[in-house]
Structures are given as structure tokens and as C-alpha cells.
């Protein structure tokens, strides 16, 4: 049934003891949803396990983080249009996935994200300009990953996943209670690194949770042209880990599902794969024209599913969201937006030789040679300009 005794000892895997391994590993028949599109708490869902609705203070905090995430997306989009930032992969409409990712982690846990996960990265405490420095084109990264237990965002699909598994494996060997949460998109599931990471995680039974933000498109390629599996979460059973599906625009369900997987991993239950069903409301990046491969009718169908409006209505109708809260969240979000604007307005003068200084702790002979060549060319150009 399994090669890991600790797997059987964990209460969350009790179904295996009853001989229902295949059933337990399969995701719920429909994505887990606790608050529907009308902002009403949903009851009676037939899911693989009971997911309780998070309490009101947690949901209120989550709503404030959604407001912040939406404001970050809006401000970043404006900065790109003004020419003050080179590129921005928007997560407008996907903010709930990222908010749940960092709200379910502890300080000693690790987050591995992608180029689209700026909101999640800032949620880990990374300062606004540090999070956006690489998108402005000034630095290799912009922040120290060890300061925030947050890996540098990757552009190459799925390359962060084996590294996430490696950190989780190291934590297990050291006897730490660290959990690693690895974010990726639906396009990443078509990459070899995705499969390598899941297989290693399952075989070595490491504390890592894979959260797929299925926003329906890998740039212009729709999901139907990437996979014909019943769902991306179904891929988990092939590796021997449980999979689950969740409404990626329902923060309450995300907090419950991701939180359950994180705590299960922390207590020795091993890895898990979660597919969050969401939608990329804006283009892939500012360099993309999404109208070339999807219709406005399709996009309009997702507008009522907005995670921000859904949770706002639920909290308001339940009497948990006062006007003072709304104002407080908006003011806090505007402060972050202003910090980002001010930072982008500051003139930056990068040193070209930094390209070589921070690749390795000890530069290779090739890097030293290339650095010396560039330094000579810069010096020659400066002398020519002076004369």
C-alpha cells in the first residue's frame, strides 16, 4: 500500500487503513467551494473530506489582503502603461490563490513562486520595490530569499518545483517542521520538471504542497490542448499522493483546502497536489494580446466569479465587514501603491558589471574574463566620451 510507515500513522491518511488508497488519492468530484458566486455560504458539498468554513476574523483578514492584492495589480498595470516598468504578468482575478498561499504558511515555511506571483511574494514580507526590482530590469532578483524564506520568482516554467522539493527534503532530514508550498500554473504541468518534482516528493515523502493555479491558459494555449486528464489534480494519483480540486476564486475554500494540506505535510502526512480553478482576467503580460486567442464573451463569464466581490458580499451580509474596515483596507492598500510608485519614480543607475558579480559566490574563470572585457570596453567608452 505504501512504503512509508509515517504515512499510515498520520490521522489524515486514515482512509488508507481502510483499504481505500485509490479513492483517497483521487480529488473531489467537483472543486471544493465554501462561498459561492453570490457570496453565500455553501453547505452540503460532497467532497473527499470535511472542509470547515474559516472563522470570521480569518476571512476579514483575507479580504483585506485581497484588497491589497488587487491594488498591487492595478498599480503595476498603470506603471507599465506609463513606461516606468518593463513588464508585468498580471494576477488580476487570481489574487485569492496567492493570498491563501501565504496565509496558510508559518514564518519558517518556504514559498516558491513564479513571475506571476508578486502578490504572494509581497505577502511573505518582501518590500514592494524588492518584489518589483527584477520586473523593472534592474537586478537579478531584488531580495534575499533567506531573509523571507521565499525563493526568487522564476520565469521558466516548472523549474522552481524540483528546488522546492529539495528544500522540503533537506528540512525533513534536519528534523524541522518546515513545509514548502510551490506555486505553478497549468502550463507548468506539461513540463518535465513538474513530473520529476512530484515523483521525488512522493518517493521521499517530503513536506511539500504543490498548488496549481489553473487559469485556463498557458499564454495562448488553452488547457484542453495541454491535457485530457479529468483534471490536473487527478495527476497526483500516478505518483501516490493525494490530489484535490478547489474553486480558485473562493478564498474561504482555498484557506481550508491549502491549510489542510499544509498541516498534513507538517505532521508527516507527505506531499499533496492541489488544483485551483481560476481565470487570468488580463493578458498574459503587457506584451500579449489576449483577444487573439479568447473571446470577450468568455472573459465576461468569469467577471461575476471575482474573488474580491464574492468575499466582500459574504462578509457584509454576515455583519462582519463594517464601513470602517473597508476604508482601513483601502487606505493600507493605497500606502503600498504609493510606495511602489515612488520607488519606480526614483532614477536607477545599475552597474553593468553586476551581471557577473552575483552569479556565483566565487566567480568562474569565464565570468572573470567576461567581466574584465566589459570593464575595459566601458573604460574605453568613458575615455572616448571625455576626449
Beta-bridge partner residues of 222: 217
- Single out the catalytic residue among 293, 328, 357, 358: 293
The answer to whether residue 284 is catalytic is: yes
Tell me if residue 84 is catalytic.
no
Bridge pairing between strands 221-222 and 180-185: unpaired
Q: Which three cell numbers stand for residue 250?
A: 473562493
Please enumerate, as own/partner, the contacts of 11-16 that have beta carbons within 8 Å and a separation of 24 or more.
12/260, 12/264, 12/267, 12/269, 13/269
Counting Cα atoms < 13 Å in the Cβ hemisphere of 99 gives 32
**Residue 298, all three cell numbers:** 468568455
Q: What is the DSSP letter of 158?
A: T
**Distance between CA atoms of residues 239 and 310, nearest Å:** 35
Helix (H) or strand (E) holding 214: strand 208-214
Among 245, 264, 284, 310, which one carries the catalytic annotation?
Answer: 284
Q: Work out whether the CA dihedral 20, 275, 175, 166 comes out positive or negative.
A: positive
User: 243 has which bridge partners?
Assistant: 273
Closest CA to 308 of 72, 77, 52: 72
- Contact of 158 with 207, CB cutoff 8 Å: no
Closest among 298, 293, 114 to 221, alpha carbons compared: 293
- Cα 243–chain centre separation: 17
Looking at 116, 169, 277, 280, which residue is catalytic? 280
> Which of 279, 246, 256 is CA-nearest to residue 31?
246
Determine the Cα–Cα distance for residues 5 and 16; give it in Å rounded to an integer.
12
Tell me which DSSP letter residue 191 carries: S
Catalytically active residues are 280, 284, 293
Amino acid at each position: 500500500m505504501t512504503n512509508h510507515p509515517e504515512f499510515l500513522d498520520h490521522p489524515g491518511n486514515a482512509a488508507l487503513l481502510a483499504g481505500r488508497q485509490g479513492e483517497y488519492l483521487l480529488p473531489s468530484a467537483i472543486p471544493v467551494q465554501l462561498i459561492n458566486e453570490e457570496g453565500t455560504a455553501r453547505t452540503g458539498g460532497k467532497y473527499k473530506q470535511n472542509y470547515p468554513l474559516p472563522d470570521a476574523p480569518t476571512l476579514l483578514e483575507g479580504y483585506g489582503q485581497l484588497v491589497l492584492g488587487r491594488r498591487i495589480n492595478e498599480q503595476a498595470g498603470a506603471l507599465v502603461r506609463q513606461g516606468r516598468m518593463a513588464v508585468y504578468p498580471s494576477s488580476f482575478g487570481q489574487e485569492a490563490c496567492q493570498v491563501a498561499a501565504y496565509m496558510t504558511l508559518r514564518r519558517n515555511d518556504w514559498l516558491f513562486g513564479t513571475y506571476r506571483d508578486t502578490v504572494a511574494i509581497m505577502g511573505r514580507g518582501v518590500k514592494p520595490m524588492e518584489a518589483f526590482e527584477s520586473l523593472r530590469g534592474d537586478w537579478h532578483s531584488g531580495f534575499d530569499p533567506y531573509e523571507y524564506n521565499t525563493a526568487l520568482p522564476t520565469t521558466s516554467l516548472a523549474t522552481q518545483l524540483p528546488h522546492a522539493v529539495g528544500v522540503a527534503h533537506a528540512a525533513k532530514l534536519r528534523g524541522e517542521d518546515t513545509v514548502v508550498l510551490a506555486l505553478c500554473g497549468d502550463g507548468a504541468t506539461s513540463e518535465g520538471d513538474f513530473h520529476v518534482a512530484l515523483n521525488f516528493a512522493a518517493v521521499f515523502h517530503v513536506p511539500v504542497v504543490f498548488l496549481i493555479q489553473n487559469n485556463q491558459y498557458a499564454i495562448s494555449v488553452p488547457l484542453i490542448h495541454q491535457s485530457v486528464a479529468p483534471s490536473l489534480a487527478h495527476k497526483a494519483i500516478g505518483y501516490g499522493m493525494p490530489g484535490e480540486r478547489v474553486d480558485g476564486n473562493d478564498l474561504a475554500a482555498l484557506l481550508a483546502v491549502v491549510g489542510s494540506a499544509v498541516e498534513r505535510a507538517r505532521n508527516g502526512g507527505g506531499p499533496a497536489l492541489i488544483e485551483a480553478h481560476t481565470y487570468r482576467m488580463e493578458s498574459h503580460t503587457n506584451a500579449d494580446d489576449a483577444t487573439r486567442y479568447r473571446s470577450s464573451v468568455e472573459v465576461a463569464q468569469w467577471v461575476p466569479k471575482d474573488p474580491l466581490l464574492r468575499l466582500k458580499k459574504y462578509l457584509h451580509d454576515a455583519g462582519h465587514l463594517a464601513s470602517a474596515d473597508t476604508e482601513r483596507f483601502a487606505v493600507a492598500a493605497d500606502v503600498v501603491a504609493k510606495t511602489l510608485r515612488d520607488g519606480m519614480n526614483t532614477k536607477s543607475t545599475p552597474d553593468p558589471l553586476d551581471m557577473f558579480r552575483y552569479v556565483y559566490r566565487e566567480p568562474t574563470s569565464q565570468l572573470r574574463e567576461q567581466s574584465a572585457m566589459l570593464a575595459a570596453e566601458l573604460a574605453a567608452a568613458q575615455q572616448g566620451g571625455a576626449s
